Amino acid sequence: MRVRECLDTDKKRLIDVACERGASAWLSALPLADHGFDLHKGSFRDSVCIRYGWQLQDLPSSCVCDSPFTVDHALSCPMGGFPTLRHNELRDLTASLLDDVCSNVSREPPLQPLSGESITASTVDGDEARADITVDGFWRISHQRAFFDVSVVNPFSESYKGLTLPAVYKKVENRKKRKYDARIRNVEHDCFSPLIFSTNGGLAPVSDTVFKRIASITSEKLNKPYSPLINLIRCKLSFSILRSTIRCIRGTRKSLYRPKFGDIDAEVAISDGHILVH
């Protein structure tokens, strides 16, 4: 405790994040490609640097969006679509875990349109509104659906300075609940749980409860012990988040030239290229 008191705020946050359940799973797993537990040496080196707050090597000085390139910026910059890919991979991984043991699992289910129901000002109200995942009977009530929506938070972001890690998670969970909870309860008559992950592999309290429930259902359905299942789930989540974090930092954000096939004159191209036509 005395050592911790001597550390600055950033170092304390690094320790808190590293101590989260499941956040260090990638370090203890053997690098088995068949299970998706492998990293090439560059990614492993970057992962260690991120874990301990060390400077990453060979980063560009500026982003293609003209902002200074920092790790914090890279984790949220929409150029290249990497935050969206990160979100979708976690959504699909969660849905695949549910698919194995639950019924009627749906990705991006549309919410029923509003017809005069009372909702709060911050609640999503569009007719095209969707959650990320829905599943039947998840919380032991067979006729009730559970809705989930994914978000990934960078606990080192400037916007969370001065907040404890639990407070960061609570803030993001509440933001998601304000957006979806009232509509899903009052219109769908179902329940909503936000799935909040940190860019370092941790889980917010509600998310941790959800994945414990997935492991419990899997244990019951497949007659397998609970402990190895929850550890495997946490390890898979850890690697998924880790790869997405590295991709946000190292991925190419420059627009590539993609000629539209419809714009090509096929006859001219065949003639110019002396392509044999069969």
- List, for residues 200-223, the tens digit of each pLDDT value: 999 999 999 999 999 999 999 999
Predicted TM-score (pTM) of this structure: 0.86
Q: Is residue 98 part of a domain?
A: yes
Amino acid in position 222: L
Q: Is residue 256 part of a domain?
A: no
Q: Residue 85's pLDDT band (boundaries 50, 70, 90)? A: very high
- Reading the block at residue 174, the tokens are 């509440």
Q: Is residue 144 part of a domain?
A: yes
Q: Residue 2's pLDDT band (boundaries 50, 70, 90)? A: confident
SS3 50: helix
Name the CA radius of gyration of the chain, rounded.
22
CB 204, CB 197: distance < 8 Å: yes
Show the beta-strand stretches assigned E in 47-166. 106-107, 133-136, 145-153
Domain count, the chain: 1
CB 169, CB 196: distance < 8 Å: yes
Q: Helix, strand, coil shares of the chain as percentages rounded to 5?
A: 50, 10, 40
Q: Is residue 33 part of a domain?
A: yes
The most confident of 51-55, 100-104, 213-217, by mean pLDDT? 213-217
Q: What is the average pLDDT value for the chain, to the nearest integer?
A: 89
Q: Is residue 171 part of a domain?
A: yes
Residue 110 clears pLDDT 60, i.e. is over it:
yes
Q: Residue 257's pLDDT band (boundaries 50, 70, 90)? A: low
Residue 258 clears pLDDT 80, i.e. is over it:
no
Q: Is residue 260 part of a domain?
A: no
Residue 119 clears pLDDT 80, i.e. is over it:
no
Q: Is residue 276 part of a domain?
A: no
Q: Residue 256's pLDDT band (boundaries 50, 70, 90)? A: low
Domain hosting 169: range is 2-250
Q: Is residue 259 part of a domain?
A: no
Query: What is the rounded distance in angstroms from the CA atom of residue 27 to the CA atom of residue 35?
Result: 14
**Predicted pLDDT at 7:** 77
